[in-house]
Chains A and B, each alone.
Chain A
Amino acid sequence: KAGVTQTPRYLIKTRGQQVTLSCSPISGHRSVSWYQQTPGQGLQFLFEYFSETQRNKGNFPGRFSGRQFSNSRSEMNVSTLELGDSALYLCASRREGGILAKNIQYFGAGTRLSVL
């Protein structure tokens, strides 16, 4: 069974540009969450999508947005990039259900974004 797939693995952008990152969850998983990892702030929750709806949101500015498609694939977008947006962006998927086993989050390898 394929794991969580994130594309691209690496991105280099300049300040002011926008970027779109993609995440394909494990087959059968309906929830997709995004996390930002930086050396200073560690791992921070961005948002979660389920059934094409944003269900949970972290404390990030509106420049960070996302969406989920009917096949559960998700994209996140960052507009007007700032130097501080340089980070590893991780996507995680879970099946969703009434027991913990269905709610464990499995992570992709991440997209490393560098803003110059």
Chain B
Amino acid sequence: GNSVTQMEGPVTLSEEAFLTINCTYTATGYPSLFWYVQYPGEGLQLLLKATKADDKGSNKGFEATYRKETTSFHLEKGSVQVSDSAVYFCALSDPRSNYKLTFGKGTLLTVNP
């Protein structure tokens, strides 16, 4: 079956530091890949997405590239802000199962001023 593995953290950074959160996946088909973000007390918000190999998703300074050869979708941001503090989830969506989402365990990011 499908699975997603991401670094669990927690990750603590100073403001303006570089962020990488690793994510790898296992899938038999051709999934789409996502990063969702969850702020305290809230639901999940879609951060970015990629639908096929070599696609780069980007939003709010975050980027991730769909790498089929390494089955990875690592999240990066060049300069984090305190407001980026949240839990980040990597996920894949399989059209063969009606786009059911399979999530990684989540990575808690804390950015200190």
Contacts and interface: CB of A to CB of B under 8 A. Distances in A.
Interface of A: 4, 6, 31, 33, 35, 42-43, 45, 48, 50, 55-56, 90, 92, 94, 100, 103-110
A31 B104 CA distance: 22
A110 B43 contact: yes
A55 B100 CA distance: 11
A50 B98 contact: yes
Q: Give the interface size bracket for B toward A.
A: 20 to 34
Looking at A31, A50, A103, A108, which has the most chain B CB atoms within 10 Å of its CB?
A: A103
Interface stretch (B14-22, B61-69, B77-85, B89-97): B89-97
Contacts, number: 55
B92 to A, nearest CB: 12
B25 interface: no
Closest 5 pairs between A and B when the two form their complex, measured CB to CB: A43-B103, A107-B44, A107-B43, A109-B43, A103-B99
Given A103-B93, A108-B43, A55 B98 contact: yes
B112 interface: no
Interface of B: 32, 34, 36, 41-46, 49, 51, 89, 93, 95, 97-106
Contacts of A50: 98
Contacts of A110: 42-43
A71 to B, nearest CB: 20
A56 B98 contact: yes
Contact of A106 (B32, B46, B106): B46
Given A31-B99, A42-B105, A105-B99, 5 more contacts: A4-B43, A42-B106, A43-B106, A56-B100, A109-B42
Given A90-B44, A104-B49, A33 B93 contact: no
Nearest to B97: A56
A107 B103 CA distance: 14
A100 B106 contact: no
